[in-house]
Amino acid sequence: MKKKISILGSTGSIGKNLLNIVKADKKNFNVILLTAKNNYKLLLKQANYFNVKNIIITDLNSYKKAIKINKNKKINIYNNFNFFDKILRSKIDYTMSSIIGLDGLYPTLEIIKYTKIIAIANKEAIICGWDLIKKKLKTHNTKFLPVDSEHFSIWKIINYEKNKNIDQIFLTASGGPFLHKSINQIKNVNISEALNHPNWKMGKKISIDSATMMNKVFEVIETKNIFSTPYKKISILIHPKSYIHAIVKFNDGTIKFLAHEPSMKIPIFNTLYLNQYKKIISNKLDIDILNNLKLQKIDNKLFPVIDILNYLPSKSSLFETVLVTTNDQLVNLFLKGKIRFFDISKNISKIINLKEFQKFKKKKPKNIQDIHILSNYVRLKVNSLCV
């Protein structure tokens, strides 16, 4: 029987990687739903190729253009995520949630009850809404799988080990494009330099987060949430080649690490074929990299955002929404040329430490509205202080 799947954010890099895997094994999959924000041309192309009957386009103008193009076709086109009950009449086998930003939280929460497995590649959803997600997963008996290479690797290494058996988790970071630069050299780098990641091909937002190392701060928070592990047990190591993605030291003295080439197709493939042990075409073992790992501790002076980890609340709260939104808006301002690269790190610390935001460390999100209302306010505050 064909496996029924849906992809939230199919025109992004994660969605395209997943569809390439499905393409190679098309006879075993039935793609029920694809979604995009505004890339309606690619979405329609994907839908036609994979014979998908339902698509969602959230941008209104793009939706209207898609309707005109598709008026004689047999594709149902919707404009928002309130039609899951009409599209998904019974539980499907697998959903990939890869919509970027907090926009991905609502559809992630809403689709959980319609899918047996949800693979989440949306950092913001896991960071800001984990308690809400966890509750939905339990209510609807839906299995969660992490897709980020680091968290996928931890998940594979731990393999249902009890938390009490874990001594330390190490996430690896490439160091991005500025690992070998001085602080003075970094201060005035331009946008193209900041986007020039040495190992990964990623979108603009996550590329800048990698350059500042905020991406790794987010991954530490995700690790704490996903694996119920306190911050004191999570560390970051620089690993320039991005070959090893996580290391776990256990209380019995053993240390395990997981390595794979720097390609998202491997964690995506493994979540799609859970427990099926299918073969993927991949590169041979790179002995040269293993013999020259060059693991090192992170330089907090070069990457000052790492110090934020010292001030995060131990339990999930609305403060993470303050942090995520502050960074998001500062990255937007940098990409628009309104602030300098180093201003991102400097302003994050200044803004999240404002007294009006510190109080959110003790407040939990009761619902998705709490998160969005706060996020909208923080965005306005960042603009008022930095533009």
Neighbours of 76 (CB within 10 A): 16
Residue with tokens 């839906």: 142
Whole-structure pTM value: 0.94
The 10s digit of each residue's pLDDT in 208-252 is 999 999 999 999 999 999 999 999 999 999 999 899 999 999 999
The 10s digit of each residue's pLDDT in 297-347 is 999 999 999 999 999 999 999 999 999 999 999 999 999 999 999 899 999
CB 34 within 8 A of CB 6: yes
Residue 197: is its pLDDT beyond 90? no
Q: Give the three-class secondary structure for 115.
A: strand
- Would you tell me which CATH number, out of the four given (3.40.640.10, 3.30.160.270, 3.40.50.720, 3.90.850.10), belongs to the domain 3-147? 3.40.50.720
Q: Give the three-class secondary structure for 215.
A: helix
The 10s digit of each residue's pLDDT in 128-149 is 999 999 999 999 999 999 999 9
For the record, the structure tokens of 178 come out as 């500025």
Neighbours of 372 (CB within 10 A): 18
Give every strand in the sheet of 296-297, ordered side by side. 255-259, 244-250, 166-173, 234-238, 296-297
The 10s digit of each residue's pLDDT in 348-362 is 999 999 999 999 999
Q: Quick one: what percent of the chain has pLDDT higher than 90? A: 82
Residues of the chain with CATH 1.10.1740.10: 313-387
Rounded to a whole number of angstroms, the distance between the first and last alpha carbons of the chain is: 56
Mean per-residue pLDDT over the chain, rounded: 94
Cα 122 from Cα 355, distance rounded (Å): 29
Quick one: which of 95, 106, 98 has its CA closest to 144?
A: 95
The predicted pLDDT at position 125 comes to 95
The predicted pLDDT at position 62 comes to 97
The predicted pLDDT at position 236 comes to 97
The predicted pLDDT at position 109 comes to 98
The 10s digit of each residue's pLDDT in 70-122 is 877 789 999 999 999 999 989 999 999 999 899 999 999 999 999 999 999 99
DSSP element (H, E) containing 30 = strand 29-36
Residues of the chain with CATH 3.40.50.720: 3-147
Average pLDDT of the segment spanning 120-126: 95
Residue 285: is its pLDDT beyond 90? yes
Cα 74 from Cα 82, distance rounded (Å): 20
Q: Quick one: what percent of the chain has pLDDT higher than 70? A: 100
Average pLDDT of the segment spanning 14-41: 96
In terms of Cβ atoms closer than 10 Å to its own Cβ (0-12, 13-18, 19+), residue 298 is middle
Cα 242 from Cα 240, distance rounded (Å): 6
Residue 201: is its pLDDT beyond 80? no
Q: How far is CA 58 from the centre of its chain?
A: 20
**Would you state the CATH architecture of domain 313-387?**
Orthogonal Bundle (1.10)
CB 83 within 8 A of CB 76: no
DSSP type of residue 249: E
